[in-house]
Amino acid sequence: MFDALRPQAPDMILRLMQMFRDDPRGGKVDLGVGVYRDATGRTPVMRAVREAGRRMWAAEETKVYTAMPGDPAFLDAMRRLVLGPDTGAAIATPGGTGALRQAFELIRLARPDATIWLPDPTWPNHPALISAVGLRQATYRYFDTATGGLDVDGMMADLERVAAGDVILLHGCCHNPTGADLRPAHWAHVARILAHRGALPLIDMAYQGFGEGVEDDALPTRRLVTQVPEALIAASCSKNFGIYRERTGVLIATGGGDVVQDNLTALNRLAYSFPPDHGARLVATVLTSADLEADWRAELDGIRRGMVALREALAVALRAECRSDRFGFVAEHRGMFSRLGLSPAEVEALRDRHGIYMLGDSRMNVAGLTADTVPVLARAIAQVTA
């Protein structure tokens, strides 16, 4: 049986991490892997999450199964965090990846002939998950490499071609890998197209709080769900709660009746019976304790401001080193990532000559920088692009 298995394509990020570890140079800089790092290079446990863990440990009297859709307190808290006053059917999932997988499974149950439209480029796991589930996919234009901004005209023209019942995947904020986000006017335009084409949005919200702020990052999603009859939202708690390894996420569906919740619950049963609970309970504890929630929001906002400050410093340094505004978009982008628009040869030169690691498509993780390495990166980019 196993001899029929074919090798899987290697994971480029894991390969890059290995190369970084094997690099003996002292001043090497890792801008590859997509996790938040503070100024000392650590990915810390957030204060409120640590305290929530202490309280849970003291209060928890059982580890018996929770509800099949997930802990109701977690689902309520996440609906409030993502949707504000609106509501919808929901299941807890293992991370944002689990939420996306369940979203695609739900679409397959409801409409196996739907095409899922993905931004070009997008997080590589999007097309991989869709292929695994066996749905059709297509891409819409999104990013303009020449300007580092959006290709708005191309995007809207492509979305005008989607069929009724198709699904349009949108990054709620902090687009991965480019860092280029839709502005409110673009969201309004997308909503009009979705409504008149009869297509359904699937919003991937993996970085709420990393862009403009926890509430502001959710505003486009909150507005959109009031403008279309049905929507899916896959939200991850990995980044904004710093609980990557706990595998905590939620899939929310707005519109439709009880049958939607019924099917979502069944999808959890079919995949793993009960979703993981520890991370969900940490999140619910934070979001239902006024003191912890306030502290979490404050720490998250500090993280966000730190990344915006790094962006601004990098844009200034690049302007000085390159004597051009070519990389001005770095200050406009939001979230952890920016795609710099460097060629594969330039990315390789950064790695080989300067010990600076980023993905082959020139996606850099801003949170991998510090005040000390910003000028180092700017000088190296100026050299490899000269």
Q: List the catalytic residue out of 71, 90, 123, 378.
A: 123
Cβ proximity to ligand PMP, 140 vs 349, nearer residue = 140
Binding-residue pattern over the window 265 to 304 for ligand PMP, x denoting contact by CB under 6 A: ----------------------------------------
Quickly list H helices, 61-110. 72-83, 95-110
Give the pair of three-digit tokens for residue 339.
């795609």
Cβ proximity to ligand PMP, 176 vs 221, nearer residue = 176
The only residue of 74, 123, 187, 210 in contact with ligand PMP, by rule CB under 6 A: 123
From 55, 56, 6, 11, select the one nearest 33 (Cα to Cα): 11
Cα distance between residue 171 and residue 243, in whole Å: 20
Binding-residue pattern over the window 197 to 236 for ligand PMP, x denoting contact by CB under 6 A: -------x-x-----------------------------x
Give the pair of three-digit tokens for residue 208.
């709420």
Note the Cα 306 to chain centre separation in Å: 18
From 197, 291, 206, 202, select the one nearest 241 (Cα to Cα): 206
Radius of gyration for the chain, computed over Cα atoms and rounded to the nearest angstrom: 21
CA distances to 18, 142, 153, 330, 358 from 344, rounded to whole Å, are 19, 20, 27, 19, 10
What phi and psi values does residue 234 have, to the nearest 5 degrees? -105, 110
- Tell me whether residue 216 is one of the annotated catalytic residues: no
Cβ proximity to ligand PMP, 103 vs 384, nearer residue = 103
- Residue 121 sits in the site that holds ligand PMP (CB under 6 A): no
Cβ proximity to ligand PMP, 238 vs 373, nearer residue = 238
The only residue of 69, 95, 119, 220 in contact with ligand PMP, by rule CB under 6 A: 95
- Residue 34 sits in the site that holds ligand PMP (CB under 6 A): yes
Return the amino acid letter for 164.
A
| Contacts with ligand PMP, residue ranges (CB under 6 A) | 34, 95-97, 123, 171, 176, 204, 206, 236, 238, 244, 249
Q: Which residues are catalytic?
A: 123, 204, 206, 239
